[in-house]
Amino acid sequence: MESTTAHLLGLKVMRLTKPSLATTVPVLGEKWDMLGKSLETQFISDLRTPAATPNFSTGEVLALPQSFGMIFLGETFSGFVTAHNDSQELVKEVVLRVELMTPSQRLNLLTTPTIGQIDGGACEERIITHEVKELGEHSLVCSANYTVTTSGEELYLRKFFKFNVHKPLDVKTKFHCSSEDEVLLEVQLQNITPSPMFLELVSFDPTSNFQAKDLNIIINKETESEESVFGCENYLVPRNTRQYLYRISPLSSVQTPGKRANVSVGKMDIVWRSKFGDRGRIQTGQLKATVPPLPELACVLVESPGIARLEQPVKVTCQITNNTNRPMRLLSQLERPPGSGILFSGNTGKVHSELPSNGSMELKLTLIPITPGLQVIGPVSFLDLLSSQKKYQFPSLGQLFVEQSSTVTI
């Protein structure tokens, strides 16, 4: 129990934080206005007023914080704890403890070994740090056990210091199903702090069952280096929002033929710096998305030149995978719908060897581009001769850019 005796020690907690630039309110006056001229002269003589730009409100002088300030989730709280002997008596066997009570747990931040003694008017100081990982009200519980030397009385002092932890970013996520085997993740980040922040890292960390591609990176053709679509100035001012996009592809072990699955795909990792370089970091929980069902028969373009010359044959390779639990005997059909800019060279209606369950085979095709521009490779269809001639259609296997031939024939 706490003693009702007047304590000789006093406990204080101060937050260790960086200063800010001192600001002023410019005072302007007309030349003929004596009062305005006097106020302007007094304003210019203020130490906070910048000499080069006196009418600019932000000065060149750093100001120490006058209040506890705001603490945001993901930042590191640093505090300065002091036990001061307010009397002239000697105290001994002093033990300082600092605990942090969060909305869900109680953490021990400091337990000092027994301090021999604190002379009258002297003090003991300690620095505590803690990465804030929860929102809501937090309480610092500072306590001290000590013994009065003259009387031998053992006293116990405890004080509470409360502060709130605020949300720095508003993170919204949305999934879009782009194809049978891909999902697009859209992430919106909004700065809800009163100050600008520098986004040091924004990344998506997929689980082991998924692979992800960052669509926010472009290749600079001049330097052949990767650059952000947002440019080199990666700042986010208050109330502004940014959108990030990621392409997520599930591995075959996640997908089930004919069934959609709601599974965890990964989490966002965000690191930022405040205007004076203080670091903050938050991670979202595991994001869940509905994975499209695994198709019974998959046909993927695995080898293609990407660019072809007009009327010059080009070879591509497709990989065909049987995702069912039964074998297939496939008959391939190469089609050319009206308006198609690509012809298939070779015989259609070819019967392939039996494709076992979960097996794959390669299909090599020869194409002849007849129209310049971006052309679609397809359509291609397959008939399963072992399953009542069930038909599988693939309208598009990929795209091929066709260039105009450099030679002109007469």
Q: Are residues 174 and 286 in the same domain?
A: yes
* Domain coverage including residue 150: 9-16+67-166
| Residue 57 located in a structural domain | yes
In the numeric block, the tokens 């603490």 are attached to 71
What confidence tier does 408 reach under pLDDT thresholds 50, 70, 90? very low
For residues 182 and 286, membership in a common domain is answered with yes
The tally of domains found in the chain comes to 4
Question: pLDDT > 90: what percent of the chain?
Answer: 12
- pLDDT digits 0-9 by tens, 237-290: 899 999 999 988 877 555 555 566 678 889 999 999 887 778 899 998 898 887
- Cβ contact 304:398 at 8 Å: yes
Model pLDDT, residue 339? 78
Q: Which residues contact 2 (CB under 8 A, 6 or more apart)?
A: 156, 157, 158
Inside any domain, residue 409: no
Residue 162's CATH number: 2.60.40.10
Q: Is residue 104 included in any domain, yes or no?
A: yes
Answer with the one of 221, 256, 291 that is the final residue of a domain. Answer: 291
Q: Is residue 141 part of a domain?
A: yes
Residue 50 lies in a domain: yes
Query: Quick one: 120 and 184 in the same domain?
Result: no
| In the predicted structure, residue 44 carries a pLDDT above the cut 80 | no
Q: Which residues contact 18 (CB under 8 A, 6 or more apart)?
A: 276, 277, 278
Rounded to an integer, what distance in angstroms lies between the CA atom of residue 217 and that of residue 229? 6
Examine residue 145 and state whether it is found in any structural domain, yes or no.
yes
Q: Where are the beta strands (DSSP E) in 2-153?
A: 9-15, 20-23, 58-63, 71-72, 76-85, 91-101, 106-111, 115-118, 123-131, 136-148
Domain boundary among 291, 311, 334: 291
Residues 287 and 181 in one domain: yes
Q: Please report which confidence band the pLDDT of residue 180 belongs to, taking 50, 70 and 90 as the band edges.
A: low
Residue spans of beta strands (DSSP E) within 292-409? 297-303, 307-309, 314-322, 330-334, 342-345, 350-351, 360-369, 373-377, 380-384, 390-394, 398-403
Is the same domain home to 162 and 177? no
One domain for residues 129 and 176: no
The neighbouring-strand residues paired with 58 are 23
Q: Could you tell me if 230 and 326 lie in one domain? A: no
Query: What average pLDDT does the chain have?
Result: 82
Which runs of E-coded beta strand occur in 112-215? 115-118, 123-131, 136-148, 154-166, 169-179, 182-191, 197-206, 210-214
Last residue of a domain, which of 133, 150, 166?
166
For residue 346, what pLDDT band results from cuts at 50, 70 and 90? confident
Does 121 map to a domain? yes
Give the single-character DSSP code of 104. Answer: S
Whether residue 88 is found in the same domain as residue 133: yes
Name which residue leads in pLDDT, 253 or 318: 318
Please report, for the domain that includes residue 193, its CATH number.
2.60.40.1230
Residue with tokens 């004919």: 258
